[in-house]
């Protein structure tokens, strides 16, 4: 289904974008002059250092022919790393490893594996985002914490047997070529803004564009105001958090949105709205993304991902991890915004992802071929061999019970999506999927990791129960 774009240039226009089910929060919508005022302390901007990889000299027997990388060097401070290359359609058939030096202690880590993506997270073919000619291939980003030194190596794998010369020995098999234009991306996510009030903009504060006074005072930029205004029916302009609602209040709001008392006898299947940290709450630099918002027509399914950024973060660091992923997606991969619609940390906190409104059908870039009529939720971490925290699985259930409920979807049911093209399904094929699916159900990939994938049955049943099914 073709998406549509809505301008985010003006706050008034953004606020006027209608929800598919125009919910009111009951916690104070932005309907008064004072609600149009918002406090913000802008995050200190981050940065990205991009370094070209080169063929490493074979001065050690451990190095493979054609191995590329960067030897130990001092670099600008960073906390997240990834490798990119020119052609997004080219696969990196090899092993990517990094070592980093911790800021302050000067200690070098051991070699850490960086997960290759090879196109499984990407905008759909045929969309303006995909066809821009700007996209890059990439690995997953890896969170390493505050660092100021780096070493990287990319080892090509042996070519597949069908591509070997007849009679060649296994130990002398040729290496698969690495993609052209390999670069190491070192991302500094920047500092977080001081926390504001969780459910309001703090009362009498500077208006949009007006000068401010005081240590926490500031103004909303046009971009940050637009990103907040699309959630105006759920929280005041400039709020750091969209507050949770009880199941009764969530049902009441949905009934009102569907026609009020005429439908009051039919209780909708929807879970209570969970607490959601907004983009302002995690410190998004709204000037990085494209100014327009992109939408699909509805939300029929949720695809679950792991971020593959590793599990070595604290919940207090989760906003920094998200800002790092956001910058990596936009500046390094050249997407229009962060790819996921929502993110969940190990403590069960839920975060707004791609801008456009948490209750709206925002087009993401999370599951190549199935970004239309779906949403993508990434659990921060790597769950191939590590068990996902119970709090994160419960948060998945709470989020999907609410968001799928807005569109009348049973989380434990099935749905049909039309493929836009990928490595499992041809373009135009109608595919029957679980309403809560793993990334690997739509694309041949390890994501969301075996251990998290095995928990999706629990998430489905819990989500359906929260809806009252």
Instruction: Considering the domain delimited by 47-158+175-188, tell me its CATH architecture.
Output: Sandwich (2.60)
CA distance 462 to 456: 10
Nearest 5°: CA angle at 383, between 76 and 83? 30
pLDDT in tens, 32-68: 333 333 334 455 689 999 999 999 987 655 666 789 9
Cα separation, 28 vs 35, in Å, equals 9
CB neighbour list of residue 403: distance below 8 Å, 6 or more residues apart: 299, 302, 342, 358, 359, 375
Q: Write b or e for each residue in 50-83: b if 16 or more Cβ atoms lie within 10 A of its Cβ, otherwise e.
A: eeebeebeeeeeeebebbbbbeeeebeebbbbbb
Longest dimension (CA), the chain: 79
Mean pLDDT of the chain: 84
Q: How far apart are CA 338 and CA 358, in angstroms?
A: 14
Structural domain boundaries of the chain? Answer: 4-39+223-466, 47-158+175-188
- Kindly tell me if the per-residue pLDDT of 177 is higher than 80: yes
CA 156, 158, 163, 165 dihedral sign is: positive
Predicted pLDDT of residue 18 = 39
pLDDT per residue over 381-436, tens digit each?
999 999 999 999 999 999 999 999 999 999 999 999 999 888 888 899 999 999 99
Query: Which comes out higher in pLDDT, residue 208 or 156?
Result: 156
Contact 360, 288 (CB under 8 A): no
Q: Classify residue 421 as exposed, middle or buried by CB count within 10 Å of its CB (0-12, 13-18, 19+).
A: middle
pLDDT at 15 over 60: no
On the question of pLDDT at 163 being above 70, the answer is no
Q: In the prediction, which pLDDT does 173 show?
A: 57
Express each pLDDT in 98-111 by its tens digit.
999 999 999 999 99
Q: Stretch 457-463: mean pLDDT, rounded?
A: 98
* Confidence at residue 43, expressed as pLDDT on a 0 to 100 scale: 52
Burial state string for 162-181 with b = 16 or more CB within 10 A and e = fewer than 16: eeeeeeeeeeebebbebbee
Per-residue tokens: 385: 């061999």
Per-residue model confidence (pLDDT) at position 214? 33
Dihedral angle at the C-alpha atoms of 441, 445, 446, 447, nearest 10 degrees?
-60
Q: What residues are paired with 54 via a beta bridge?
A: 69
Q: How is domain 4-39+223-466 classified at the architecture level of CATH?
A: 3-Layer(aba) Sandwich (3.40)
Q: Is residue 6 pLDDT above 50, yes or no? A: no
Give the DSSP letter of residue 253. Answer: H
* CA gap 279, 237 in Å, rounded: 12
pLDDT tens, position by position, 210-266: 333 333 334 689 999 999 999 999 999 999 999 999 999 999 999 888 777 655 556
Report the pLDDT averaged over residues 17-33: 37
DSSP label of 125: T
* Angstrom distance (rounded) from CA 349 to CA 318: 9
Tens of pLDDT, residues 292-315: 999 999 999 999 999 999 999 999
pLDDT at residue number 3: 40
Confidence category of residue 158, pLDDT binned at 50, 70, 90: low
CA nearest 50: which of 70, 29, 24? 70
Band (196; pLDDT cuts 50, 70, 90): low
pLDDT at residue 453 above 80? yes
What tokens were used for 40? 């913000």
Q: Say which residue the tokens 């910058």 belong to.
A: 327
Cα–Cα distance between 298 and 251 in angstroms, integer? 19
The answer to whether 34 and 243 are in contact (CB under 8 A) is: no
Joined tokens for residue 47: 């940065």
* Residue position matching structure tokens 């791609």: 354
Q: What angle do CA 205, 207, 213 make, to 5 degrees?
A: 50
């Amino acid at each position: 289904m073709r998406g549509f774009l809505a301008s985010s240039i003006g706050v008034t226009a953004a606020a006027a974008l209608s929800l598919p089910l125009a919910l009111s929060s009951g916690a104070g919508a932005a309907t008064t002059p004072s609600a149009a005022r918002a406090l913000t302390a802008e995050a200190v901007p981050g940065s990205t250092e991009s370094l070209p990889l080169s063929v490493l000299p074979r001065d050690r027997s451990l190095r493979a022919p054609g191995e590329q990388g960067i030897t130990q060097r001092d670099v600008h401070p960073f906390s997240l790393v990834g490798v990119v290359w020119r052609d997004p359609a080219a696969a990196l058939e090899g092993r990517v490893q990094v070592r980093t030096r911790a800021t302050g202690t000067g200690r070098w880590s051991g070699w850490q594996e960086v997960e290759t993506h090879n196109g499984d997270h990407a905008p759909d073919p045929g969309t303006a985002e995909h066809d821009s000619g700007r996209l890059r291939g990439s690995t997953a980003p890896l969170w390493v914490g505050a660092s100021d030194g780096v070493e990287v190596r990319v080892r090509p794998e042996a070519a597949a047997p069908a591509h070997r010369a007849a009679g060649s020995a296994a130990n002398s098999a040729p290496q698969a070529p690495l993609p052209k234009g390999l670069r190491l991306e070192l991302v500094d996510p920047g500092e977080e803004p001081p926390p504001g009030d969780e459910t309001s903009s703090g009362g009498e504060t500077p208006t949009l564009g007006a000068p401010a006074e005081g240590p926490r005072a500031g103004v909303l930029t046009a971009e940050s105001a637009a990103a907040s205004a699309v959630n105006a029916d759920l929280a005041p302009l400039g709020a750091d958090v969209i507050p949770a609602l009880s199941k009764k209040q969530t049902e009441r709001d949905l009934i009102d949105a569907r026609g009020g008392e005429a439908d009051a006898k039919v209780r909708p299947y929807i879970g209570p709205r969970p607490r959601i940290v907004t983009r302002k709450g995690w410190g998004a630099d709204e000037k990085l993304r494209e100014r327009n918002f992109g939408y699909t027509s509805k939300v029929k399914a949720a695809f679950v991902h792991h971020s593959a950024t590793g599990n070595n973060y604290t919940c207090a660091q989760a906003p920094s991890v998200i800002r790092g992923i956001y910058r990596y997606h936009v500046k390094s991969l050249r997407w229009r915004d962060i790819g996921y619609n929502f993110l969940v940390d190990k403590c069960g906190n839920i975060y707004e992802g791609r801008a456009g409104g948490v209750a709206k059908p925002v087009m993401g870039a999370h599951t190549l071929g199935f970004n239309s009529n779906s949403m993508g939720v990434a659990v921060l971490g790597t769950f191939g061999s590590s068990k996902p925290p119970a709090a994160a699985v419960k948060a998945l259930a709470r989020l999907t019970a609410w968001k799928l409920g807005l569109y009348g979807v049973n989380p434990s049911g099935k749905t049909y999506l039309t493929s836009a093209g990928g490595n499992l399904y041809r373009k135009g094929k109608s595919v029957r999927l679980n309403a809560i699916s793993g990334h690997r159900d739509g694309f041949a990939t390890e994501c969301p990791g075996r251990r998290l994938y095995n928990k999706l049955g629990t998430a489905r049943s819990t989500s359906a129960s929260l809806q009252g099914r």
